[in-house]
Amino acid sequence: MFLPKIVLKDMDLSLIPPTCWIRSLGPNYFPEIIKDAQSESDIGNLYMRMFYIYGAYGQDSDALLMQSKALEFKRCFRIHAPTKPKLKLLSLVTAGDMTDNTPLDFIVDKTNIQLDLLYVDDLQTSLLEVPDHDIAFVGFGESTKNNPILEYFDLVLKNWPRPYINHPLNVKKCGRVELYKLLNKTEGIIVAKTQSLSRNNIYYEGEKFVIRPIGSHSGKGFELITSQLKLETYLKQYSNDENFYTSEYINYRSSDGYFRKYRIVLISGQPFICHLAISDDWIVHYIAAKMEMSESKRMEEKAEMLEFNQRFGLRHKKAFDHIYNSLGLDYVVLDCSETIDNQLIIFEADPGSWIHATDSAELFPYKAPVMQKAFDAFQNMLESKIEKFYQ
């Protein structure tokens, strides 16, 4: 296999306002943001700015069209540019939306870390011009689309001139089937048995199970199958999809009737809580849980976040250590819960999941200080990796 020659290059890149900045302004600023983007003289930057704008407002198809046009002109973009950067971080990303790549702009937003993006694929076999940087981050997550790129960059990174975060082949361990095989026999950890099946091999056999199309994210197409009729109805809705993930259903409802899902980030193996969502629906999404409308939910989340190291984090310390050692990832986000007898339920492991501190400070005053601990740990991880690389 021919591998590209990697050339570090000082690049004078102008700043592109990323998703975290656009979302912080809110929808009322949309006309002003569009007007400002139209003053962009660099055509590649203009299209990429439109990608972030459309993406921030949920116009995913328009966003991806803008991104594809941007990549016709250039592959390198700067999305965080402190005046005097303490270090330069390069994220290796691939064409796609927020579910395809780690949204690092939310993590470095208030830091002195410069963040550049380099869009790559598995077809670059000649010259690869790379913005000069102190450390790289493998920003593309596991997926059917991304796996060939992960495999290719396993080879490319062997000759990478700088340290990097997250080995590509270890990112592949986060696949739903792979994660089950990796962790299902671990004491104290429960992972739903997951299979990848073609539609012709999926049957309802009297036990409820969950299903989703392969390649889907954020709960899209994620449903509980409780009968043969529901299975048939579901498959008709996804007539263009031939392959699906099926998983056993784990009833993790608490004694008060609610379902609870924790988002935890492991940074150099150390767990940090990012949020706790409490919902009466078995599919728990933070936004759908309407935490902002329930003071009691927020008070519970506050207690869990402020006392994480004495409560949830302490109860599952052994499990988190095992997950870190098994995955071998410097940075990974876990969606999880727990059983009544304190076993850790792992729903998903994904370095690309979103962690942030953008919730209302008025409604969630406890969040920003807790999230800052994770952001500080992220920067410490980068600095430690750089130091070890040159020892």
d(CA 235, CA 21): 39
List, for residues 127-138, the tens digit of each pLDDT value: 899 999 999 999
Choose the weakest-confidence range: 21-30, 220-229, 310-319.
21-30
List, for residues 104-160, the tens digit of each pLDDT value: 999 999 999 999 999 998 887 778 999 999 999 999 999 999 999 999 999 999 999
For residue 1, is pLDDT > 70? no
pTM score, two decimals?
Answer: 0.94
> The domain at 193-248 falls in which architecture?
2-Layer Sandwich (3.30)
For residue 220, is pLDDT > 90? no
Instruction: Enter the CATH code of domain 259-389.
Output: 3.30.470.20
Q: Are 173 and 346 in contact (CB under 8 A)?
A: no
d(CA 347, CA 262): 10
Q: Annotate 32-58 with DSSP letters as a single string.
A: HHHHHHTT---HHHHHHHHHHHHHHTT
8-state DSSP, 194: E
Q: What integer is the mean pLDDT of 72-84? A: 95
Domain boundaries, the chain: 5-166, 193-248, 259-389
d(CA 140, CA 120): 10
List, for residues 16-58, the tens digit of each pLDDT value: 988 888 888 777 777 888 888 888 899 999 999 999 999 988 8
